[in-house]
């Protein structure tokens, strides 16, 4: 069985989960290629018997570059894929959405896996309720999933179609939010980014970190968010905070209500034994964003 795992990872957690799944597959089959989605050729995936696709959760579904990749796939009738994701607090409809898109290409989705993970964004506080994840148990679970999924794929290929799984259902509120947060809606919801050329050192860290190739600091005027998947990794990696936005325009009261809903979902998951708490929510200052923390550190370094 020739196997491939494609992954998109910004903070490294999805990549680590992908590596664990890869290790599990290699234990069973002796082979599994691991490729960053940015380096993937959509046409070459047809060469593989089993393909995994993994990503973090953005806006309660797969990131826009991942959905674009799936849309660009050729027809792959009866090919076997599996989907996995990492998420902070709420997975939303990610695995459901990925499954639906893959099935439209004729693909049979033979497995699903998800893990909690730390979350980074300039307007989020830090730590977040899921800081400390993925933990050792989740990495072990990912490796166990990797050992199991090739056998399931083989049995399905031999006619045991009753083994084809379906993603777990998710509360309708998260499905509605995911459907509402289209690319256009997100672009209007969050303030546009700008590059402060007085602060920019032209180190190109923002360009290197952008998964959409949407930044060119040498252009006149500098190009940013063209295109954009709204991961805000550029603003999180810029060493001089030259990439900024009017973050104060974001409705923080809505964020506080969402935070309360996240905690409710995590409490349910904790009661089911699916989540382990490493951060006391009472210690999280919702008004102290990661961007504010980075600004303080930069000022301390200057001082």
Task: Name the residue ranges covered by the structural domains of the chain.
Answer: 3-170, 180-250+280-302
Whether domain 180-250+280-302 has CATH 3.40.50.1700: the reply is no
pLDDT truncated to tens, each residue of the chain (303 aa)?
A: 999 999 999 999 999 999 999 999 999 999 999 999 999 999 899 999 999 999 999 999 999 999 999 999 999 999 999 999 999 989 999 999 999 999 999 999 999 999 999 988 877 888 999 999 999 999 999 999 999 999 999 999 999 999 999 999 999 999 999 999 999 999 998 899 999 999 999 999 999 999 999 999 999 999 999 999 999 999 989 999 999 898 877 766 666 788 899 999 999 999 999 999 999 999 999 888 888 888 888 888 876
- Topology of domain 3-170 in CATH is Rossmann fold (3.40.50)
Instruction: Give me the DSSP letters along the chain.
Output: --EEEEE--SSSHHHHHHHHHHHHHHHHHS--EEEEGGG--TTGGGG-SEEEEEEE-BTTB--HHHHHHHHTPPP-TT-EEEEEEEESS--TTHHHHHHHHHHHTTPEEEEEEEEE-----TTSBSS-TTTT-S-HHHHHHHHHHHHHHHHHHHHHHTT-GGG---PPP--HHHHHHHHH--HHHHHHHSPPPEE-TTT-----HHHHH-TT---BTTSSSPB-SSS--S--HHHHH-TT--EE--GGGS-HHHHHHHHHHHHHHHHHHHHTTS----S-GGG--TTSBHHHHHHHHHHHHH-
* pTM given for the model: 0.95
């Amino acid at each position: 069985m020739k196997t491939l795992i494609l992954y998109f990872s910004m903070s490294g957690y999805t990549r680590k989960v992908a590596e664990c799944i890869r290790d599990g597959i290699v234990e069973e089959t002796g082979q599994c290629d691991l490729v960053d989605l940015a380096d993937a050729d959509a046409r070459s995936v047809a060469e593989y018997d089993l393909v995994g696709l993994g990503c973090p959760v953005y806006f309660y579904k797969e990131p826009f570059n991942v959905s674009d990749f799936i849309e660009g796939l050729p027809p792959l009738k009866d090919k076997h894929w599996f989907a996995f994701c990492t998420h902070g607090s709420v997975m939303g409809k990610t695995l459901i959405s990925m499954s639906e898109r893959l099935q439209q290409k004729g693909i049979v989705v033979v497995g699903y896996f998800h893990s909690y993970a730390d979350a980074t964004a300039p307007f989020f506080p830090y730590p977040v309720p899921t800081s400390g994840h993925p933990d050792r148990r989740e990495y072990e679970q990912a490796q166990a999933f990797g050992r199991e999924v090739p056998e399931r794929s083989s049995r399905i290929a031999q006619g045991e179609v009753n083994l084809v799984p379906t993603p777990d259902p998710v509360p309708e509120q998260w499905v509605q939010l995911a459907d509402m947060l289209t690319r256009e809606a997100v672009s209007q919801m969050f303030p546009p980014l700008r590059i402060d050329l007085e602060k920019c050192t032209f180190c190109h860290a923002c360009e290197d970190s952008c998964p959409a190739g949407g930044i060119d600091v040498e252009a006149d005027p500098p190009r940013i968010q063209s295109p954009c998947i709204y991961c805000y990794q550029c603003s999180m990696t810029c060493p001089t905070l030259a990439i900024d936005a009017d973050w104060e325009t974001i409705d923080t009261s809505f964020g506080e209500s969402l935070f309360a809903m996240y905690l409710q979902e995590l409490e349910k998951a904790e009661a089911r034994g699916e989540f382990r708490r490493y951060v006391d929510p009472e210690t999280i200052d919702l008004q102290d964003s990661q961007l504010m923390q980075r600004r303080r550190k930069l000022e301390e370094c200057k001082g």
